[in-house]
Chains A and B, each alone.
Chain A
Amino acid sequence: MATTTTKTETFVGKRVRRREDPRLITGTATYVEDIQMPGMHYAVILRSPHAAARIRSIKAKQAEAAPGVVCVFTGKDTKGVGVVPCGIAMPDLRVPQHNILATDRVYFVGHPVAVVVARDRYLARDAAELIEVDYDILPAVADPEKALTKGAPAVHPQWPDNIAFTYHQDGGNVDKVFAEADVVVKQRIVSQRLVPMAMETRGVVAEWRGADRQLNLYTSTQIPHLVRTLVAGMLGLEENRTRVIAPEVGGGFGSKLNVYAEEALMGFVSMRIQKPVKWIESRRENFTCTTHGRGHVDYYEIAAKRDGTILGIKLKLIQDVGAYHQLLTPLIPQLSVLMMPGLYNTQNIRADIVGVFTNCVPTDAYRGAGRPEATHGIERMVDILAAELKMDPAQIRLKNFVTKDKFPYATATGLMYDSGDYAAPLKKALDLVGYVKLRQEQADLRKQGKYMGIGISTYGEICAIGPSPATPAGGWESATVKIEPSGKITILTGACPHGQGEETTFAQIAADELGVGLDDILVTRGDTAVVQYGIGTFGSRATAVGGTALYYALQDLKAKIKKFGAMLLESDDVTLVGGQVVCDKTGKAKPLREIAGASYRALKLPPNTEPGLIATRFWEPPNFTFPFGAHIVVTDIDSETGQIKVRRYVAVDDCGNILNPLIVDGQVHGGVAQGLGQALWEQAVYDDNGQLITGELTDYALPRAHLMPWIESHHTCTPSPVNPLGVKGVGEAGTIGCSPAVVNSAVDALSPLGVRHIDMPLTPEKIWKLLAKKN
């Protein structure tokens, strides 16, 4: 072996600072709102103030004549545009026709009714107020359980029972184990409606280039390619003449994993006026028109033996659908059912889902999408069972975990858990928090009449979504790696990020594989005219699926680099190391830059080898990945105000191999913040008439910085066998692990008062009332 100077610094596994951050924290990133074009016009959408009404007439003459207004379009004008798509197919799914503008009826507050286009956004807004819509107001229903009762107003008159879909899953022998069980515990558990609240609201710029017959659509989305396919279809355009660009995306959390009416509507407007047009969603619109998350009422039953062994789980799940199905609406509760056994070894499960239409904005994916609801349910139930049996909540979990020798583990819901050691994070978290000592402290405080609680949640999740047969669109992901003639490297990923840090992690992967520095690499995404078809970023999939596609593209490229290196070095025994190809015998080396140049110059080519250094891979995952972890929350409750204070937050997450601990910490922090939001503060409330009464940040309690506890983020590492990187995904872990730990902690604190369950959010008012009632 010869020796040469090689670059030995590696990046994977290190706390590499995010390369996207400088432009984000200096305010120089380009969002949809930052796009300016000559001749640009602005659109304002008039929306229904009623949850249910017939439209008798729309008079737009005055608005059309207002200063600066170019035109007004209503549902009559857009009848030729295809419907807003639902991407889920299932038996007996009722799909109401979802036009991009209301035609004869409105179904929820915020339903788009007309669009005003003007040369100035303020003029457009003023003109929108001049449109006269004559509504015949109809009774509305906003509560899914009320919607199921006889005589409730029908959201869609053709379906008076308001049932949007049903879904049943059965595994094992539920009736038998429930009949034989020593104990059965039951509880109704609500997972309330939430507003995803991306910092950047939605926005669209549409630019129709008539001469080229091409539509350029800039939109704040998590899935640019799917938007291209679907919006092109809605507008009757050719897909190869429709270009979708997701510039910087300021958060999505699932709310931008969708195809919205406004995306097609702006395309329609631009084609009509032959000018570019911009629409930026206001925060108030965001509250009422962008999909909400959660919206479950769950009825759980768990059967167990007296020693705490869980025998079976039953779940009746009522999903608040809203007025329409958005892209994935009916899928979300199915993900809950898939995840309903949690980390526990039981093969007896039964789930009945009923999706219910209400006169509200549709629900769809929100950070965790179905899995936080499922985890909240099972983790609350296990605590209720432990209380019933007077068992320690940690012990009952350790007793029921799928043990680490059982992997891969087939669940009764049809999943194959890839790898796991569920006791490890729980034991670590118990150690870190000082569990035994805390229980002693709790006993002492109780004697003093003080309320302190210790809440445990051990969660599992379905990540790296997912094998194509198990997903509504493809579940694969794509990557292209180009080494330019100068040796600089460009990565094109189909997994369009919106805050996940792929520009850093993907560069880390490529830098280590090729032995180059991070500054030699550019990660590009989000433009369908530049990037090969991709699926997008959601379901904690970008690194596990998109990163794997990148990994394999890099392997292809490495083989080709070695071929060129071998040719140039005139030796078959070569190694690619430290950014150069080295001859094992002579120690002579050719740097990547020289090899790249030679591959494009192509004076000479290796046998059966094409010029250039470009590789593209589409990777189809053979399975999901299944991260897991344990979160422990210590709370103190103020007995006079009902205020819950989180004293300790210990998170031990196992997401497989960690490529960048800094980014993983960031994901855990953000996830926990949103989990705490649901557990303690947030709730989208509709009144009986379908009016959203939490329509602004003064009424919708989003977590603020000063409310956040210090999060002690730790890990165990059980690599995934599903992909060569051994990664599992961590984008949603914090949210999924958080809410049950917080509620379990509060219930634990109040258990001396006989409190067994509290529904979220745990507002001071709610807690204070419990304290007042019992004292």
Chain B
Amino acid sequence: MKISGSYTLPVAPERAYQILQDPAILARAMPGCESLEKIGPDEYRMKMKVLLAALSGEFEGKMRIADQAPPTSFRLIVEGSGRIGFLKGDGLLKLAPAATVRVLSAAPSEPPETIVSYEGDAQVGGTMAAVGQRLIDGTSKMMIKKFFDKLASLATDQRDS
């Protein structure tokens, strides 16, 4: 399954890049995330609860960050499995300042923004694939949106504080 999209975060690229790799913030932003701990350089172990229609279950997995090119891009590799199946994903996240398009109209005090665009491949297996196939696409989109919404609010909170 191909996953792609973009989201605008209300922070500058440098800051966006930083929060996208901050375990404490990610743990709070990821829907259903129960724990996220660093187990090595750019490698994390996580536990999350997934709800897919009538299916629910805990996933345990690993998240790895590769090809780091701050503050413009990095690759995210996710692998998890649980009672209701397994999940494998590999995606590229690109960060670009949003200001360029607004430079003329925007007031000088306009806060900086970053467009995060992502593109990747996800594989889903087990019961989740057999039973929830038709719902996976919608659910994953919803989860990604929830993630960024939360991330955006966390980023703003922290900036304000």
Q: Interface of A with B (CB < 8 Å)?
A: 49-51, 109, 129, 137, 284, 287-288, 687, 689, 691-696, 698-699
Report B125-138 CB contacts with A as 1/0, cut-off 8 Å: 11101110110000
**Once bound together, how far apart are the Cα atoms of A424 and B142, in whole Å?**
61
Can you show 6 pairs from A to B with CB atoms below 8 A apart?
A: A49-B81, A109-B129, A137-B88, A284-B127, A689-B123, A691-B130
Q: Give 9 A-B pairs besides A50-B86, A687-B133, A691-B124 with Cβ atoms closer than 8 angstroms.
A: A49-B81, A49-B85, A49-B86, A49-B127, A50-B125, A109-B126, A694-B130, A694-B133, A699-B130
CB-CB under 8 A from A109, the residues of chain B are 125-126, 129-130
B83 within 8 Å of A by Cβ?
yes
Report B87-114 CB contacts with A as 1/0, cut-off 8 Å: 0100000000000000000000000000
**Once bound together, how far apart are the Cα atoms of A771 and B31, in whole Å?**
43
Chain B, Cβ-Cβ closest to A287:
B130
Q: How many residues of B contact A (CB 8 A)?
A: 15
Report B15-34 CB contacts with A as 1/0, cut-off 8 Å: 00000000000000000000
Tell me the smallest distance from the CB of B30 to a CB of chain A, in Å. 22
- Residue of A129, A137, A284, A689 near B130 (CB, 8 A) is A284
Q: B124 touching A696 by the CB < 8 A rule?
A: no
Tell whether A693 pairs with B129 under 8 Å between CB atoms, given A49-B81, A129-B83, A699-B134. yes
The 10 A-B pairs with the shortest beta carbon distances in the complex, nearest first, are A695-B130, A49-B126, A691-B129, A693-B133, A696-B131, A49-B125, A691-B125, A129-B83, A692-B130, A49-B86
Chain B, Cβ-Cβ closest to A693:
B133
CB-CB under 8 A from B134, the residues of chain A are 699
Chain A, Cβ-Cβ closest to B86:
A49
**Once bound together, how far apart are the Cα atoms of A17 and B134, in whole Å?**
44
**Once bound together, how far apart are the Cα atoms of A170 and B131, in whole Å?**
44
- Residue of B81, B83, B129 near A695 (CB, 8 A) is B129
Tell whether A695 pairs with B125 under 8 Å between CB atoms, given A49-B86, A50-B86, A129-B83. no
**Once bound together, how far apart are the Cα atoms of A691 and B86, in whole Å?**
11
Tell me the smallest distance from the CB of B36 to a CB of chain A, in Å. 20
CB-CB under 8 A from B81, the residues of chain A are 49
Q: A695 touching B123 by the CB < 8 A rule?
A: no
Report B72-89 CB contacts with A as 1/0, cut-off 8 Å: 000000000101011010
- Which interface residue of B83, B85, B88, B130 has the most chain A CB atoms within 10 A? B130
**Once bound together, how far apart are the Cα atoms of A696 and B127, in whole Å?**
9
**Once bound together, how far apart are the Cα atoms of A175 and B86, in whole Å?**
52
Tell me the smallest distance from the CB of B77 to a CB of chain A, in Å. 13
Chain A, Cβ-Cβ closest to B83:
A129
Report B144-159 CB contacts with A as 1/0, cut-off 8 Å: 0000000000000000
CB-CB under 8 A from A695, the residues of chain B are 127, 129-131, 133
Tell me the smallest distance from the CB of B129 to a CB of chain A, in Å. 4
- Residue of B83, B127, B131 near A698 (CB, 8 A) is B131
CB-CB under 8 A from A698, the residues of chain B are 131
CB-CB under 8 A from B83, the residues of chain A are 129
**Once bound together, how far apart are the Cα atoms of A532 and B125, in whole Å?**
46
Tell me the smallest distance from the CB of B31 to a CB of chain A, in Å. 22
- Which interface residue of A129, A689, A693 has the most chain B CB atoms within 10 A? A693
Chain A, Cβ-Cβ closest to B127:
A284
- Residue of B86, B123, B124, B129 near A692 (CB, 8 A) is B129
CB-CB under 8 A from B129, the residues of chain A are 109, 687, 691-693, 695
Tell me the smallest distance from the CB of B88 to a CB of chain A, in Å. 7
Tell me the smallest distance from the CB of A62 to a CB of chain B, in Å. 13
Tell me the smallest distance from the CB of A521 to a CB of chain B, in Å. 46
**Once bound together, how far apart are the Cα atoms of A50 and B123, in whole Å?**
11
Q: B88 touching A693 by the CB < 8 A rule?
A: no
CB-CB under 8 A from A129, the residues of chain B are 83
**Once bound together, how far apart are the Cα atoms of A50 and B79, in whole Å?**
13
CB-CB under 8 A from A49, the residues of chain B are 81, 85-86, 125-127
Q: B86 touching A288 by the CB < 8 A rule?
A: no
Tell me the smallest distance from the CB of B89 to a CB of chain A, in Å. 13
Q: B125 touching A689 by the CB < 8 A rule?
A: yes
CB-CB under 8 A from B127, the residues of chain A are 49, 284, 695
**Once bound together, how far apart are the Cα atoms of A696 and B55, in whole Å?**
13
Q: B86 touching A284 by the CB < 8 A rule?
A: no
Tell me the smallest distance from the CB of A137 to a CB of chain B, in Å. 7
CB-CB under 8 A from A694, the residues of chain B are 130, 133
**Once bound together, how far apart are the Cα atoms of A137 and B127, in whole Å?**
17
CB-CB under 8 A from A287, the residues of chain B are 130
Tell me the smallest distance from the CB of B148 to a CB of chain A, in Å. 27
**Once bound together, how far apart are the Cα atoms of A165 and B123, in whole Å?**
31
Chain B, Cβ-Cβ closest to A110:
B130
Q: B86 touching A693 by the CB < 8 A rule?
A: no
Tell me the smallest distance from the CB of B42 to a CB of chain A, in Å. 21
Q: A284 touching B85 by the CB < 8 A rule?
A: no
CB-CB under 8 A from B126, the residues of chain A are 49, 109, 691
CB-CB under 8 A from A689, the residues of chain B are 123, 125
**Once bound together, how far apart are the Cα atoms of A287 and B134, in whole Å?**
17
Tell me the smallest distance from the CB of B86 to a CB of chain A, in Å. 5
Q: A284 touching B125 by the CB < 8 A rule?
A: no
Q: B123 touching A696 by the CB < 8 A rule?
A: no
Q: A288 touching B130 by the CB < 8 A rule?
A: yes
CB-CB under 8 A from B130, the residues of chain A are 109, 284, 287-288, 691-696, 699
**Once bound together, how far apart are the Cα atoms of A695 and B124, in whole Å?**
13
**Once bound together, how far apart are the Cα atoms of A284 and B55, in whole Å?**
13
**Once bound together, how far apart are the Cα atoms of A692 and B129, in whole Å?**
7
Tell me the smallest distance from the CB of A130 to a CB of chain B, in Å. 10
CB-CB under 8 A from B133, the residues of chain A are 687, 693-695, 699
CB-CB under 8 A from B125, the residues of chain A are 49-51, 109, 689, 691
**Once bound together, how far apart are the Cα atoms of A284 and B132, in whole Å?**
12
CB-CB under 8 A from A137, the residues of chain B are 88
Chain B, Cβ-Cβ closest to A50:
B125
CB-CB under 8 A from B86, the residues of chain A are 49-50
Tell me the smallest distance from the CB of A358 to a CB of chain B, in Å. 16
CB-CB under 8 A from A51, the residues of chain B are 125
**Once bound together, how far apart are the Cα atoms of A137 and B134, in whole Å?**
24
- Residue of B85, B124, B131 near A699 (CB, 8 A) is B131
Chain A, Cβ-Cβ closest to B60:
A132
Residues 7-55 of B contacting A (Cβ, < 8 Å): none
Chain A, Cβ-Cβ closest to B1:
A687
Chain A, Cβ-Cβ closest to B130:
A695
**Once bound together, how far apart are the Cα atoms of A264 and B88, in whole Å?**
34
Chain B, Cβ-Cβ closest to A690:
B125
**Once bound together, how far apart are the Cα atoms of A699 and B134, in whole Å?**
8
